């Protein structure tokens, strides 16, 4: 028998789509929550269209992103605009502890499913809405993705080289940050409900939650009036602190010396002991003033070596270093393998599918991704028969009414 | 009453995990920051108030330590360890981010603490995890971003990969730790038992690759970095575009979901005279597949991008943001930190929180609650604590140490 997971018994009705929303309920599903996600029969979840694709082939089930964000959930395809949607949704709300959605503000009201409606059905429901800029304010209505929330929150301007246009963090950055805040918010609200019987509504702005990842820069402005700018790979405390070229095409290694001792070890490893006593480099403050010269010296050494050789040699001397890894290098990385980061799951149409595993190891009740993300409508029968206990006749009536597209 | 007010958290973290305790503190938990004598090393991370380095003036510290109380305690000395065990008796969570094995070496490993308090949930946050071949690797934000996947995808293609200039890696790990702690707590309500949680930042940041970390195991093409966008095979996909006064993020992509927005954009551009009707009427949903099959030449992709670029370049960021609101175009400006602080959107939602720092006779504006809770709003109850600010309160009043005992512990340098 499979081990009991920590959130078993928690039931989530999940209207979230694309990335930021589903990523949060994926985490809760790993911990054992039962998540029923609703998909539209007419409007495809954007995530199903996004790369990387299994075997490089586009198809409704082949998106690695979709699978990664939805593993472990049940899938119910249902047309929210159908006149009879409300009766099924109402029953699911009565079943659920939590309702989540990530549409643009007002969409749930349009479906007749805003918090006041849900609360009338189930007074202690916890509902979380996650959208780009929050449910209110002049920009509440803007549609978009995490790259847009990241740009308007300052992440892009703070990523890249000072002498170049902003590079921006990769992809929809706030979609990786805000799901963690959403999951924490839901769990805290559930604990409050358990103790007091009180449910509530949570308005999570992906931009506002993500701004906590820029906290020090925001305070530097509100306190010191300084507007931080992108600074390449430099650091205010450490030098060397950079990404250096290694032998081979697009091969790189990151190196950080956190104190003078580590710098001396680096010099020794490079067979350049004289640098450790050079007045330009001996102490951290001087190294920061001679950063560029120092970077040249380090690069001259790394350039001829394989990145993993630099990493191992320096780490053997307790100097922080790591090759810059792409997906295939991470797949082969001994530490990622040790932590079973990649999990292969059976898949109904593609035989099997690899997703990332749970991101924390619990000693007694470990999290686990138990099944692949649902194909379209994969669990319609299970949800209607087993969860809602509908009769065969009732299900046929709903099918005829066009509820499932 | 706030959400987590019945619970006590002992926060032993360094810069590797400060945000975890703050999230629990924001949600109402009583978070006690246990610091070494003289204060946590994270208090010396810049920037500082008026650029004056001081353990009570670090803005890095302030950003991640509100809603916590602070005590100082030398855990490496036996009297300090014994006092700590007394505090553990009544704790619900312990969060730590020492190098793997450190607490066990000083006699405060999980098994020792669990024997005192079986309900204790202990959360450990490190770069590479508690064990495994790289567990003892030296680490830093840059190292984790390199190891975990985000970095190779970020930056200019003719320069080394880059990180976000404000350190991110441990924030991802700290948030994962907070979720895990609350999941374990939910289970504890029925079992009465705590457990150990092991969070590795390299795994937490792998999540920040938009699932591109899965490219190899899925047999998919690896994406490659490109300033302000991404390269996928022969396609150079811009996501950042120039304007008259800076840059915007604009999504011009294809397929059954995103193509709809590109169609809408091209309709608007045609209306405004930036492209002809034939261009407007292209199949923007199938455009990506048509490029892949060769039905559309790559030159058409370049031409379409040039049209969009000529449009963005002739407008200001504000004009383009207006289009996002009024026409549903997928565009937002790239803002500076100053723009963010002065944002009308954030102001209208009452985002910023003023926190009194009486010791400096100043009111400081902090980024606001990470979410708006209708029944139990997040409160900024306590400004980030001064070094050992709550020694008296916690050791004397709550732990019942006599004034003499406290004084002698201070003299001995334990507290």
Domain locations in chain A as residue ranges: 11-213+339-400, 241-325
- Looking up tokens 């407008």 gives B315
Choose the closest CB to A218 out of B206, B242, B341: B341
Residues of chain B with pLDDT > 70, as a percent, come to 100
pLDDT at B1: 67
Chain B CB contacts of A182 below 8 Å: 371
Cβ contact A260:A283 at 8 Å: yes
DSSP string, B366-379: E---SSEESSS---
- Looking up tokens 């099959």 gives B293
The span from the CA of A357 to the CA of A370, in Å, is 10
pLDDT at B226: 96
Q: What's the mean pLDDT in B269-289?
A: 96
Residues of chain A with pLDDT > 70, as a percent, come to 100
The span from the CA of B44 to the CA of A283, in Å, is 17
Instruction: Kindly report the number of other CB atoms within 10 A of residue A404's CB atom.
Output: 18
pLDDT interval class at A143 (50, 70, 90): confident
As a whole number, the mean pLDDT across chain A is 97
Residues linked to residue B196 through DSSP beta bridges, in sequence order: B122
> Which ipTM did the prediction report?
0.98
pLDDT at A314: 98
Predicted TM-score (pTM) of the model is 0.98
pLDDT at A2: 62
The span from the CA of B335 to the CA of B348, in Å, is 18
Cβ contact A254:B371 at 8 Å: no
Handedness of CA A167, A170, A173, A175 (dihedral sign): positive
The span from the CA of B128 to the CA of B143, in Å, is 10
Q: Per the structure block, which two tokens stand in for B63?
A: 């950003």
Residues of chain A with pLDDT > 90, as a percent, come to 97
Choose the closest CB to B325 out of A141, A170, A219: A141
Distance (Å) from the alpha carbon of B297 to chain A's nearest alpha carbon: 19
Chain B CB contacts of A69 below 8 Å: 211
Cβ contact B220:A51 at 8 Å: yes
Q: What's the mean pLDDT in B300-313?
A: 98
Choose the closest CB to A198 out of B145, B215, B375: B375
The span from the CA of A308 to the CA of A325, in Å, is 10
> Does the domain formed by A11-213+339-400 have CATH 3.40.50.10540?
yes
Q: Is the pLDDT of residue A3 over 80?
A: no
pLDDT interval class at B204 (50, 70, 90): very high
Distance (Å) from the alpha carbon of A357 to chain B's nearest alpha carbon: 9
The span from the CA of B367 to the CA of A336, in Å, is 34
Measured CA distances, B166 to A154, A156, B51 (Å): 11, 11, 17
Preferred mutation among A142, A179, A296, A327 to probe B, highest tally of B CBs within 10 A: A327
The span from the CA of A383 to the CA of A69, in Å, is 20
The span from the CA of A218 to the CA of B337, in Å, is 6
Measured CA distances, A195 to A279, B3, B195 (Å): 63, 9, 22
Preferred mutation among A128, A176, A209, A252 to probe B, highest tally of B CBs within 10 A: A176
Of B70, B1, B294, B167, nearest in space to A237 by CA: B167
Rounding to the nearest 10 degrees, give the CA dihedral for residues A143, A146, A149, A155: -160
Distance (Å) from the alpha carbon of A171 to chain B's nearest alpha carbon: 6
Q: Where are the alpha helices (DSSP H) in B78-154?
A: 78-89, 102-105, 110-116, 141-148
Measured CA distances, B328 to B90, B259, B320 (Å): 53, 13, 11
Residues linked to residue B246 through DSSP beta bridges, in sequence order: B243
Q: Per the structure block, which two tokens stand in for B42?
A: 């994270």
Residue-wise pLDDT for A298-316, tens only, equals 999 999 999 999 999 999 9
Q: What's the mean pLDDT in B318-333?
A: 96
Fold for the domain defined by A241-325:
formyl-coa transferase, domain 3 (3.30.1540)
Residue-wise pLDDT for B163-196, tens only, equals 999 999 999 999 999 999 999 999 999 999 999 9
Map residue B381 onto helix, strand or coil: coil
Q: Which of residues 169-188 of A touch B (CB under 8 A)?
A: 169-173, 175-177, 180-185, 187-188
Residue-wise pLDDT for B245-278, tens only, equals 999 999 999 998 899 999 999 999 999 999 999 9
Instruction: Kindly report the number of other CB atoms within 10 A of residue B216's CB atom.
Output: 19
The span from the CA of B415 to the CA of B388, in Å, is 8
Rounding to the nearest 10 degrees, give the CA dihedral for residues A221, A222, A225, A229: 10
Cβ contact A384:A87 at 8 Å: no
Cβ contact A399:A388 at 8 Å: no
Chain B CB contacts of A187 below 8 Å: 179, 182-183, 185-186
Of A203, A152, A210, nearest in space to A179 by CA: A210
Q: Is the pLDDT of residue A405 over 90?
A: no
Choose the closest CB to A354 out of B131, B214, B339: B214
pLDDT at A33: 98
The span from the CA of A374 to the CA of A347, in Å, is 9
H or E stretch covering A44: none
Instruction: Kindly report the number of other CB atoms within 10 A of residue B105's CB atom.
Output: 11
CA geometry: angle at B255 spanning B254 and B257, to 5°? 105
Q: Cβ A364–B164 below 8 Å, yes or no?
A: no
Residue B119 DSSP class: T
Distance (Å) from the alpha carbon of A314 to chain B's nearest alpha carbon: 9
Of B352, B298, B89, B310, nearest in space to A218 by CA: B352
Burial A285-311 (b: 16+ CB within 10 A, else e): eebbeebeebbebbbebbeebebbebb
Q: What's the mean pLDDT in B280-288?
A: 96
pLDDT interval class at A1 (50, 70, 90): very low
Of A352, A394, A395, A393, nearest in space to A371 by CA: A352
Cite the active site residues of A: 175
Sheet of B196-200, strands arranged across = A361-362, B196-200, B121-126, B93-96, B8-11, B30-35, B68-72
Of A274, A260, A50, nearest in space to A145 by CA: A50
């Amino acid at each position: 028998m499979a081990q009991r997971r920590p959130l078993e018994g928690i039931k989530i009705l999940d209207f979230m789509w694309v990335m930021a929303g589903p990523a949060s309920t994926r985490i809760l599903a790993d911990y054992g929550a039962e998540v029923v996600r609703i998909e539209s029969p007419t409007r495809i979840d954007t995530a199903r269209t996004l790369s990387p694709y299994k075997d490089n082939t586009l198809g409704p089930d082949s998106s690695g992103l979709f699978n990664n964000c939805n593993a472990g959930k049940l899938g119910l395809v249902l047309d929210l605009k159908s006149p009879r949607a409300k009766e099924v949704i109402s029953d699911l709300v009565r079943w659920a502890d939590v309702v989540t959605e990530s549409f643009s503000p007002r969409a749930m009201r349009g479906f007749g499913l805003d918090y006041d409606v849900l609360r009338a059905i189930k007074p202690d429901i916890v509902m979380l809405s996650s959208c780009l800029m929050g449910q209110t304010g002049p920009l509440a209505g803007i549609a978009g993705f995490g790259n847009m929330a990241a740009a308007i929150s300052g992440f892009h301007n703070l990523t890249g080289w000072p002498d170049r246009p902003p590079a921006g963090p990769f992809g929809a950055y706030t979609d990786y940050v805000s799901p963690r805040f959403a999951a924490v918010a839901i769990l805290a609200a559930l604990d409050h409900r358990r103790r007091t019987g009180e449910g509530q509504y949570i308005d999570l702005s992906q931009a506002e939650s993500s701004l906590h990842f820029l906290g020090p820069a925001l305070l530097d402005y509100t306190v010191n009036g300084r507007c931080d700018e992108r600074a390449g790979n430099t650091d205010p405390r450490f030098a060397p602190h950079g990404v250096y070229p290694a032998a081979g095409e697009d091969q790189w290694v990151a190196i950080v010396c956190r104190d003078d001792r580590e710098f001396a070890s680096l010099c020794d490893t490079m067979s350049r002991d004289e640098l450790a006593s050079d007045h330009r480099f001996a102490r951290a403050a001087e190294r920061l003033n001679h950063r560029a010269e120092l970077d040249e010296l380090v690069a001259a050494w790394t350039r001829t070596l394989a990145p993993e050789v630099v990493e191992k040699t320096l780490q053997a001397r307790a100097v922080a270093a790591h090759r810059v890894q792409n997906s295939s290098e991470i797949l082969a990385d001994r530490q990622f393998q040790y932590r079973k980061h990649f999990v292969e799951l059976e898949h109904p149409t593609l035989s099997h599918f690899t997703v990332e595993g749970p991101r924390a190891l619990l000693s007694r009740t470990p999290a686990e991704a138990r099944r692949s993300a649902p194909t379209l409508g994969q669990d319609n029968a299970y949800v209607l028969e087993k969860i809602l206990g509908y009769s065969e006749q009732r299900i046929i009536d709903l099918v005829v009414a066009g509820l499932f597209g | 009453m706030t959400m987590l007010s019945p619970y006590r958290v002992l926060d032993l973290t360094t810069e590797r995990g400060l945000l975890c305790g703050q999230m629990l503190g924001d949600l109402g938990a009583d978070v006690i920051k246990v610091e070494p004598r003289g204060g946590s090393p994270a208090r010396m991370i810049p920037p500082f108030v008026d650029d004056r380095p001081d353990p009570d003036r670090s803005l890095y510290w302030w950003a991640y330590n509100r809603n916590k109380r602070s005590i100082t305690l030398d855990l490496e000395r036996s009297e300090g360890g014994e006092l700590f065990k007394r505090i553990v008796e009544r704790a619900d969570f312990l969060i730590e981010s020492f190098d793997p094995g450190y607490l066990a070496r000083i006699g405060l490993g999980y098994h020792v603490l669990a024997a005192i308090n079986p309900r204790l949930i202990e959360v450990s946050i490190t770069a590479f995890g508690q064990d495994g071949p790289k567990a003892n690797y030296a680490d830093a934000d840059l190292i984790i971003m390199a190891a975990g996947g985000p970095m190779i995808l970020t930056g200019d293609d003719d320069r080394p990969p880059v990180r976000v200039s404000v350190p991110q890696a441990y924030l991802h790990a700290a948030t994962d730790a907070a979720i895990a702690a609350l999941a374990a707590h939910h289970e504890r309500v029925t079992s009465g038992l705590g457990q150990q949680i092991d969070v590795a930042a390299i795994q937490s940041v792998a999540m920040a690759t938009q699932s591109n970390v899965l490219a190899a195991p899925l047999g998919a093409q690896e994406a490659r970095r490109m300033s302000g966008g991404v390269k996928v095979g022969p396609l150079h996909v811009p996501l950042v575009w120039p304007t008259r006064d800076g840059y915007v993020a604009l999504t011009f992509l294809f397929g059954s979901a995103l193509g709809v927005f590109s169609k809408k954009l091209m309709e608007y551009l045609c209306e405004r005279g930036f492209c002809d009707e034939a261009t407007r009427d292209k199949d923007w949903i199938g455009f990506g597949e048509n490029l892949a099959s060769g039905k559309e030449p790559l030159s058409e992709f370049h031409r379409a991008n040039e049209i969009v670029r000529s449009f963005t370049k002739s407008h200001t960021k504000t004009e383009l943001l207006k289009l996002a609101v009024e026409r549903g175009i997928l565009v937002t400006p790239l803002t500076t930190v100053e723009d963010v602080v002065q944002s009308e959107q954030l102001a209208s939602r009452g985002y910023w929180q003023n926190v009194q720092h009486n010791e400096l006779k100043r009111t400081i504006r902090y980024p606001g609650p990470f979410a708006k809770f209708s029944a139990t709003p997040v409160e900024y109850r306590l400004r980030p604590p001064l070094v050992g600010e709550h020694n008296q309160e916690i050791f004397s009043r709550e732990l019942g140490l006599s004034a003499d005992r406290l004084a002698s512990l201070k003299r001995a340098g334990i507290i």
